[in-house]
């Protein structure tokens, strides 16, 4: 028999091994939930499968009695809109500033220290300032996402722009390019797929800032709902919401990855 | 007038003298190969020709004027690696020079102008034997094909001087021979002035019209940086016998040992 370090799982084995922890967790949950509900049928901490499906039915497929809207849909659209606006604005700022500081030494000397300093400020610590300045509306929530992820995007893209081989920058000059043309025909196209992967990395923090902002001041949104029903210990709503947020995050990441592979074959082929 | 004139050229980095007292002049249409041990200033010389480094003392003249201190279209270059742009297909790589010249801001052209550029680019690619790979990305090409593409990309700009920085160093021997023939062929047909850096002495003897050996005449093993390299041999290619090759090899090897130690 081979040493453990040399043993590989086959295609079926890999799937089975990957699913195993999920199955174990699900079984553990069901057993624990059963035991608690046995002792106290009104227990709210580990709801049964049937109360999950009732809660999902109520939140997603029935109009709310109060407003007549589908709660999950309204929450999802509100959250995704904030997330999208925040991430797109951050990506654009990151792209422009990252390219400028990454390819122009004079810009780097002027802007880099400021960006480095700003990236060290914990964004949640200035959330109150944002609410004071921008009020409790949409702007403050979007600003929190922007302030949270833009410094990271700028620094990452600056580094990516600096990694473009000097040979290629010299080559462009020998082909007659001026600075602007080097940026538009060399740096920008080469940075785009890297921007997509930085955005994928920053989506996790973007969700964090979004939910934090919604928890404090909002009237709808996925984060708002979770923190609202927390008061009633409504685990039957919270857990499906968490699963839904996880699925949305996964879907966004997957879509960005596929788009990048389709749009920038040279980037993924060369790696 | 000579295309390139080198007059008492020195290059020093602080205490370290890399090149000292270089004097030479190169006529238009010459093909100069530069050989020597690593650390003997071949690359520094190339950088000065490119304009990314400037001489400490002395003069480096292109057509009687000091060489510009940044790269521009008078000097084309093919590096050992990273010479072509990975995000453009082969034909786009070759069209790039024309696009940059005709559109200051966008760096792109459309319509009839684009078709004309594309035709030129296709012709150029055919002359380096890449007519079958027009719409391939560089990562889909072999190392030899990438260097062919780099040559096509540089030559379509018709540079005054073509610089080659160990362009075939990473290629297999068989492919290297094909590339030698291609370079000689292009040089003859297009009346180029070529400088080629190589550390392969045999390559230097075989290619071009003239070979320079960069070597340290005086070498202090304790402080190898205190004396710079010079052009110790300036030979017309084709007139040299086996004995010369051997003595050059010996001298370059002993310098390499001291510098590498």
Q: Is B71 on the interface with A (CB under 8 A)?
A: yes
Shortest Cα–Cα distance, A261 to chain B (Å): 13
Q: Which two tokens stand for residue A197?
A: 């992967």
Do A115 and A244 lie in a common domain? Answer: yes
Nearest by CB: A177 against B79, B100, B108? B100
**pLDDT for res A75:** 93
**pLDDT for res A223:** 92
Rounded (10°) angle between helices A71-103 and A138-162: 40
Residue A230 lies in domain: 71-270
Do A148 and A255 lie in a common domain? Answer: yes
B86 and A270 within 8 Å at the Cβ level: the answer is: yes
B100 and A266 within 8 Å at the Cβ level: the answer is: no
**pLDDT for res B173:** 82
Q: Is B66 on the interface with A (CB under 8 A)?
A: no
Nearest by CB: A176 against B79, B100, B108? B100
Do A104 and A165 lie in a common domain? Answer: yes
Alpha-carbon span A253 to A124, nearest angstrom: 24
Alpha-carbon span B58 to B9, nearest angstrom: 4
**pLDDT tops 90 at residue A211:** yes
Q: A100: buried, middle or exposed (CB in 10 Å: 19+, 13-18, 0-12)? A: buried
Alpha-carbon span A10 to A270, nearest angstrom: 28
Do A77 and A9 lie in a common domain? Answer: no
- Choose among A174, A176, A181: nearest CA to A103: A181
B157 and A176 within 8 Å at the Cβ level: the answer is: yes
Do A125 and A2 lie in a common domain? Answer: no
Specify if A61 maps to a domain.
no
Do A3 and A114 lie in a common domain? Answer: no
**Which run of H or E residues covers position A200?**
helix A188-216
Alpha-carbon span A34 to B105, nearest angstrom: 69
Specify if A148 maps to a domain.
yes
Q: How many residues does chain B have?
A: 261
Q: Is A44 on the interface with B (CB under 8 A)?
A: no
Shortest Cα–Cα distance, B242 to chain A (Å): 37
Top residue of B77, B85, B169 to mutate, by most chain A CBs within 10 Å, is B85
Alpha-carbon span B141 to B158, nearest angstrom: 24
Looking only at the bridges linking them, the beta strands covering B4-13 and B75-78 are unpaired
**Which run of H or E residues covers position A250?**
helix A235-263
Specify if A54 maps to a domain.
no
Specify if A137 maps to a domain.
yes
- Choose among A215, A242, A217: nearest CA to A231: A215
Per-residue confidence band for A107, with pLDDT thresholds at 50, 70 and 90: very high
Rg, chain A, Cα only = 24
Q: Are A98 and A154 in contact (CB under 8 A)?
A: yes
**pLDDT for res B98:** 92
Specify if A95 maps to a domain.
yes
| Mean pLDDT (whole number) for A128-148 | 89
Alpha-carbon span B164 to B187, nearest angstrom: 12
Q: How many Cβ atoms from other residues are within 10 Å of residue A203's Cβ?
A: 18
Long-range CB contact pairs, B215-224, < 8 A, 24+: B215/B36, B215/B37, B215/B40, B215/B251, B215/B252, B215/B255, B216/B40, B216/B255, B219/B255, B219/B258, B221/B258, B221/B261, B224/B39, B224/B258, B224/B259
Cα B160 → chain centroid: 12
- Choose among B30, B45, B25, B31: nearest CA to B229: B45
**pLDDT tops 90 at residue A123:** no
User: Which domain CATH number covers A107?
Assistant: 1.10.3720.10
Domains of chain B, by residue range, sit at 1-74+161-261, 82-158
Q: Is B69 on the interface with A (CB under 8 A)?
A: no
Mean pLDDT taken over chain B = 86
Beta bridge partners of B229: B19
Do A223 and A139 lie in a common domain? Answer: yes
Alpha-carbon span B112 to B176, nearest angstrom: 38
* 179-208 in chain B: CB under 8 A from chain A: none
**pLDDT for res B104:** 83
Do A4 and A129 lie in a common domain? Answer: no
Phi, psi of A148 (to 5 degrees): -70, -40
- Choose among A170, A174, A177, A155: nearest CA to A100: A155
Q: Are A111 and A97 in contact (CB under 8 A)?
A: yes
Top residue of B48, B76, B78, B86 to mutate, by most chain A CBs within 10 Å, is B86
Contacts of B106 in chain A (CB under 8 A): 184
Q: How many Cβ atoms from other residues are within 10 Å of residue B73's Cβ?
A: 17
Shortest Cα–Cα distance, B237 to chain A (Å): 29
For A188, nearest residue in chain B (alpha carbons): B87
**pLDDT tops 60 at residue B240:** no
Contacts of B107 in chain A (CB under 8 A): 177, 180-181, 184-185
Per-residue confidence band for B245, with pLDDT thresholds at 50, 70 and 90: low
**pLDDT for res B216:** 83
Q: What is the pLDDT of residues A23-56, one digit of tens each?
A: 999 999 999 999 999 998 888 888 988 889 999 9
Q: Are A264 and A192 in contact (CB under 8 A)?
A: yes
Specify if A62 maps to a domain.
no
Spatial strand order of the sheet with B210-215 comes to B75-78, B161-165, B194-197, B31-36, B210-215, B230-236
**pLDDT for res A169:** 94
Do A14 and A107 lie in a common domain? Answer: no
Alpha-carbon span A65 to A70, nearest angstrom: 10
Alpha-carbon span B121 to B91, nearest angstrom: 6
**pLDDT tops 70 at residue B139:** yes
Specify if A42 maps to a domain.
no
- Choose among B257, B251, B66, B49: nearest CA to B165: B49
Please tell me which residue, A246 or B105, carries the higher pLDDT value: A246
Provide, for chain A, the percentages of residues in helix, strand and coil under a 3-state DSSP scheme, each rounded to the nearest 5.
80, 0, 15
Q: Is A269 on the interface with B (CB under 8 A)?
A: yes
**pLDDT tops 90 at residue B1:** no
Least-confidence region, from A119-123, A174-178, A267-271, B105-109: A267-271
Residue A104's alpha-carbon distances to A96, A109, A169, B71, in angstroms, are 12, 9, 12, 16
Least-confidence region, from A33-37, A134-138, A246-250, B31-35: A134-138
B153 and A175 within 8 Å at the Cβ level: the answer is: yes
A266 and B87 within 8 Å at the Cβ level: the answer is: yes
**pLDDT tops 70 at residue B125:** yes
Contacts of B154 in chain A (CB under 8 A): 174-175
Number of structural domains found in chain A: 2
B71 and A173 within 8 Å at the Cβ level: the answer is: yes
* Domain at B1-74+161-261, CATH from 3.40.30.10, 3.30.420.40, 3.20.20.70, 3.40.50.300: 3.40.50.300
């Amino acid at each position: 028999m081979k040493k453990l370090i040399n043993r590989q799982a086959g295609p079926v084995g890999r799937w089975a091994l990957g699913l195993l922890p999920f199955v174990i967790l699900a079984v553990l949950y069901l057993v624990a939930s059963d035991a608690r509900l046995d002792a106290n049928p009104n227990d709210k901490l580990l709801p049964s499968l049937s109360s999950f499906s009732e809660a999902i039915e109520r939140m997603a497929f029935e109009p709310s009695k109060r407003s007549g809207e589908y709660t999950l849909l309204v929450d999802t659209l509100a959250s995704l809109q904030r997330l999208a606006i925040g991430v797109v604005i951050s990506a654009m700022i990151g792209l422009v500033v990252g390219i400028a500081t990454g390819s122009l030494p004079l810009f780097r000397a002027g802007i880099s220290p400021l960006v480095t300093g700003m990236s060290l400020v914990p964004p949640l610590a200035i959330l109150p300032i944002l609410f004071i300045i921008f009020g409790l509306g949409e702007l403050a929530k979007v600003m929190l996402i922007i302030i949270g992820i833009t410094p990271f995007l700028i620094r990452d893209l600056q580094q990516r722009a600096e990694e473009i081989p000097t040979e290629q920058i010299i080559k462009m000059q020998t082909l007659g390019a001026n600075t602007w043309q080097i940026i538009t025909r060399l740096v920008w196209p080469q940075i785009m797929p890297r921007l997509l992967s930085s955005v994928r990395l920053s989506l996790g923090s973007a969700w964090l800032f979004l939910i934090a902002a919604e928890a404090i001041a909002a009237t709808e949104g996925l984060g708002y709902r979770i923190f609202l029903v927390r008061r009633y210990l409504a685990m039957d709503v919270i857990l499906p919401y968490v699963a839904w947020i996880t699925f949305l995050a996964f879907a966004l990441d997957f879509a960005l990855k596929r788009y990048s592979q389709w749009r920038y074959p040279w980037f993924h082929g060369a790696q | 007038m000579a295309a390139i004139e080198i007059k008492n050229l020195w290059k020093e980095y602080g205490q370290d003298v890399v090149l000292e007292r270089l004097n030479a002049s190169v006529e238009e249409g010459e093909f100069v190969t530069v050989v020597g041990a690593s650390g003997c200033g071949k690359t520094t010389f190339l950088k000065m020709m490119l304009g990314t480094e400037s001489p400490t003392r002395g003069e480096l003249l292109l057509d009687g004027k000091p060489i510009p201190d940044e790269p521009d279209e008078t000097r084309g270059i093919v590096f050992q690696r990273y010479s072509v742009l990975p995000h453009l297909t082969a034909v786009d790589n070759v069209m790039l020079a024309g696009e940059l010249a005709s559109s200051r801001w966008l760096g792109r052209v459309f319509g009839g102008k684009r078709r004309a550029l594309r035709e030129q680019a296709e012709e150029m690619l055919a002359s380096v034997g890449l007519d079958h790979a027009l719409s391939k990305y560089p990562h889909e090409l072999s190392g030899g094909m990438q260097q062919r593409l780099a040559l096509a990309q540089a030559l379509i700009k018709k540079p005054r001087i073509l610089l080659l920085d160990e362009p075939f160093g990473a290629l297999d021997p068989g492919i290297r021979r094909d590339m030698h023939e291609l370079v000689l062929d292009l040089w003859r047909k297009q009346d180029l002035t070529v400088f080629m850096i190589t550390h392969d002495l045999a390559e230097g003897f075989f290619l071009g019209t003239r070979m320079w050996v960069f070597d340290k005449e005086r070498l202090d093993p304790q402080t190898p940086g205190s004396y710079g390299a010079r052009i110790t041999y300036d030979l017309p290619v084709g007139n040299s016998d086996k004995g010369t090759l051997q003595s050059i090899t010996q001298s370059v090897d002993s310098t390499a040992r001291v510098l590498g130690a």
